[in-house]
């Protein structure tokens, strides 16, 4: 199943290297970003539960999954629930309304990063009271933006972001709007200059904050993956989602 086997020691070593690079990139940011530390999300898609546990035991707490079934399989695994009681799951894949209840039932679900329509926001808002542990906890969500305007990518279109954020903040009393997320185009060569997806997401945030009168410090950005997380941090990313650099190559999806 694996192109490259990654063992326990390697995962701990990879995490150590990445954390050091994050610290170095953080130090290179313009001082306007000094009010926050970037957060590393370990993306474990296509990787077995054992490797999630290894990374957890190496100190990693935030994990991301793209596929509902994989999130459920790992997130509800008895061993994982016992060994990783502080795990925080980010759902980072495309979410369909008929899967909302399944995702919300996962223990230690922390954040849905991929809200891209009013329909899915409404479905999450309506369903959350059935799942939350206490009455006043809101479900954290981010709005996914299709900054690269590629047809096959999901996400809300740039010119609709403000409308969707307004909907979430004004109409969805059970949701806590955390910020904006993008996947962006793969394999951008940073030698060509700043990544246009990162610039576009930052601009979206500035526009949304102006239009809706939100505090820019309270709107986070989730951007940057294995090949470009350092660069993303340098231009203001709050959350980087790293898979391959921690867990090794993934098999190509058929
Ligand atoms: C797979 C995936 C990642 C991680 O990608 P890597 O290149 O392996 O670091 C991050 N975000 C999303 C949404 C993904 O699907």
Tokens of 114: 């991929």
115 lies in some domain: yes
Residue 121 forms part of a structural domain: yes
SS (H, E, C) 104-148: HCCCCEEEEEEECCHHHHHHHHHHHHHCCCCCCCCEEEEEEECCC
Question: Which residues fall within 8 angstroms of residue 160, CB to CB, at 6 or more apart?
Answer: none
- 38 within some domain: yes
- Domain assignment of residue 5, yes or no: no
pLDDT of 184 reads 87
Residue 253 within a domain: no
| Of 247, 252, 170, residue with least CA distance to 7 | 247
Q: Calculate what percentage of the chain has a pLDDT beyond 70.
A: 96
| Residues 6+ away with beta carbon under 8 Å from 112 | 90, 91, 95, 103, 124, 139, 140, 141, 142
Which pLDDT does position 174 carry in this prediction? Answer: 98
- 83 lies in some domain: yes
Residue 111 is part of which domain span?
A: 10-247
In a domain, 2, yes or no: no
pLDDT tens track for 154-176: 899 999 999 999 999 999 999 99
Using CB distances shorter than 6 Å, the residues near ligand 1 are 43, 45, 66, 92, 183, 225-226, 241-245
Query: What is the average pLDDT score of the chain?
Result: 94
Is 4 inside any structural domain? no
What residues have CB less than 8 Å from 98, skipping those under 6 apart? none
Whether residue 243 has pLDDT greater than 70: yes
pTM: 0.95
Q: Helix 49-57 to helix 68-75 angle, to the nearest 10 degrees?
A: 60
- Mean pLDDT, residues 123-149: 95
Q: Which long-range contacts (CB under 8 A, 24 or more apart) does 127-133 make?
A: 127/100, 127/101, 128/104, 128/174, 128/175, 129/174, 130/101, 130/104, 131/101, 131/104, 131/105, 132/174
Atom of ligand 1 nearest to the CA of 181: 13
Domain count, the chain: 1
Q: Region 203-213: what's the mean pLDDT?
A: 98
Could you report the per-residue pLDDT of 78-128, keeping only the tens digit for each?
999 999 999 999 999 999 999 999 999 999 999 999 999 999 999 999 999
- Residue 70 sits in a domain whose CATH number is 3.20.20.10
Dump pLDDT digits (tens) for 52-69.
Answer: 999 999 999 999 999 999
**Atom number of ligand 1 nearest to Cα 226:** 9
């Amino acid at each position: 199943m694996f192109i490259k086997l990654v063992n326990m020691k390697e995962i701990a070593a990879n995490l150590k290297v990445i954390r050091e690079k994050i610290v170095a990139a953080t130090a290179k940011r313009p001082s306007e970003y000094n009010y926050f530390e970037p957060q590393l999300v370990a993306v474990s898609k296509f990787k077995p539960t054992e490797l999630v546990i290894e990374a957890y035991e190496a100190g990693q707490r935030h994990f991301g999954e793209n596929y509902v079934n994989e999130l459920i399989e790992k997130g509800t695994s008895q061993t994982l629930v016992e060994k990783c009681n502080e795990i925080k799951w980010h759902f980072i894949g495309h979410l369909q309304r008929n899967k909302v209840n399944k995702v919300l039932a996962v223990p230690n679900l922390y954040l849905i990063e991929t809200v891209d329509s009013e329909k899915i926001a409404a479905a999450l808002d309506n369903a959350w009271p059935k799942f939350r542990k206490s009455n006043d906890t809101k479900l954290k969500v981010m709005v996914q933006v299709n900054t690269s305007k590629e047809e096959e990518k999901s996400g809300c279109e740039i010119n609709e972001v403000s409308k969707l954020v307004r909907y979430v903040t004004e109409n969805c009393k059970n949701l806590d709007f955390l910020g904006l997320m993008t996947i962006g185009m793969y394999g951008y060569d940073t030698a060509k200059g700043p990544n246009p997806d990162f610039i576009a997401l930052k601009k979206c945030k500035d526009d949304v904050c102006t239009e809706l009168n939100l505090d820019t410090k309270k709107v986070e950005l989730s951007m940057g993956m294995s090949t470009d997380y350092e660069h993303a941090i340098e231009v203001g990313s709050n959350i980087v989602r790293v898979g391959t650099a921690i867990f090794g190559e993934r098999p190509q999806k058929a």
